[in-house]
């Protein structure tokens, strides 16, 4: 199976989850973390989903799924403990060109939720195309154990330095080389950071051309 790996912006987009039990909880959390506008439809909910609903973080509609509930949604997750309901949700989503994930039912998924290692803005996503979520989780634990805890802070400093470089350096192969070099060095937020000094020294040797008035 050929999957298209992508990190998708869903902030403020309407996303719906059918189901509010243990299967649904992690998916709801993932969508909420990405700042989606989350609606949940289920007659009952697990404690964590109840907390999110009470806090106004999600919109919980306490009832059974009905055809037509997916209207206007960008993405849907079918996470009930009833395969027939999940497949009905997938059918409606398919008919309306809405991306759907039926939890633990790979043939009825347009996409999969990967196992993710996070350090700030740094995300490493692992997918087995639904073949073995257990393997994906094991690999996530191994990578998580090896990745420094401050990798997210380092990425933030590196991103700030990259913006400085792109403002000082013309767009050419030398700038590309410099950015790759800086990604291999320790970067900090201080003005005297060795990587910043390297970037500025390089910029002095390769100034941006003056704009013609």
Query: Residue 213: which pLDDT band, with cuts at 50, 70 and 90?
Result: low
- Which sequence spans correspond to the domains of the chain? 1-113, 114-147, 151-205
User: Is residue 211 over pLDDT 60?
Assistant: no
CATH superfamily of 1-113: NAD(P)-binding Rossmann-like Domain (3.40.50.720)
What is the residue-wise DSSP string for the chain? ----------TT-EEEEE--SHHHHHHHHHHHHTT-EEEEE-SS--HHHHHHHHTTSSEEE-S---TTTTTT-SEEEE--S-HHHHHHHHHHHHHTT-EEEETT-GGGBSS-PPEEEEETTEEEEE--TTS-HHHHHHHHHHHHHHS-TTHHHHHHHHHHHHHHHHHHS-SSHHHHHHHHHHTTS---SSTT-HHHHHHHHHHHHSPPPPPP-
Q: State the pLDDT at residue 189.
A: 65
| Tens digit of each residue's pLDDT (9 = 90 or more) over 59-99 | 999 999 999 999 999 999 999 999 999 999 999 999 999 99
* Residue bearing the bigger pLDDT, 54 or 154: 54
Per CATH, 1-113 and 114-147 having the same topology is answered no
Whether domain 114-147 has CATH 3.30.160.110: the reply is yes
Percent of the residues in the chain that have a pLDDT greater than 90, as a whole number: 55
User: Is residue 12 over pLDDT 60?
Assistant: yes
Query: Residue 56: which pLDDT band, with cuts at 50, 70 and 90?
Result: very high
């Amino acid at each position: 199976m050929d999957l298209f790996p992508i990190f998708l912006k869903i902030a403020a987009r309407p996303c719906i989850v059918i189901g509010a039990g243990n299967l649904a909880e992690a998916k709801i959390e993932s969508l909420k973390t990405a700042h989606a506008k989350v609606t949940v439809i289920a007659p009952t909910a697990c404690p964590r989903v109840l907390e999110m609903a009470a806090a106004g973080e999600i919109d919980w509609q306490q009832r059974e799924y009905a055809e037509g509930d997916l209207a206007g949604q960008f993405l849907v997750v079918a996470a009930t403990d009833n395969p027939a309901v999940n497949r009905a949700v997938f059918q409606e989503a398919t008919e309306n060109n809405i991306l759907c994930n039926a939890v633990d039912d790979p043939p009825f998924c347009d996409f999969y939720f990967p196992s993710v290692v996070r350090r700030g803005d740094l995300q490493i996503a692992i997918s087995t195309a639904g073949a073995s979520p257990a393997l994906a989780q094991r690999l996530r634990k191994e990578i998580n154990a090896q990745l420094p805890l401050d990798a997210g802070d380092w990425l933030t400093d590196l991103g700030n330095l990259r913006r400085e470089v792109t403002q000082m350096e013309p767009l050419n192969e030398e700038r590309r080389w410099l950015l790759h070099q800086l990604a291999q060095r320790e970067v900090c937020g201080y003005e005297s950071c060795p990587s910043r000094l390297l970037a500025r020294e390089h910029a002095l040797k390769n100034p941006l051309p003056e704009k013609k008035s």
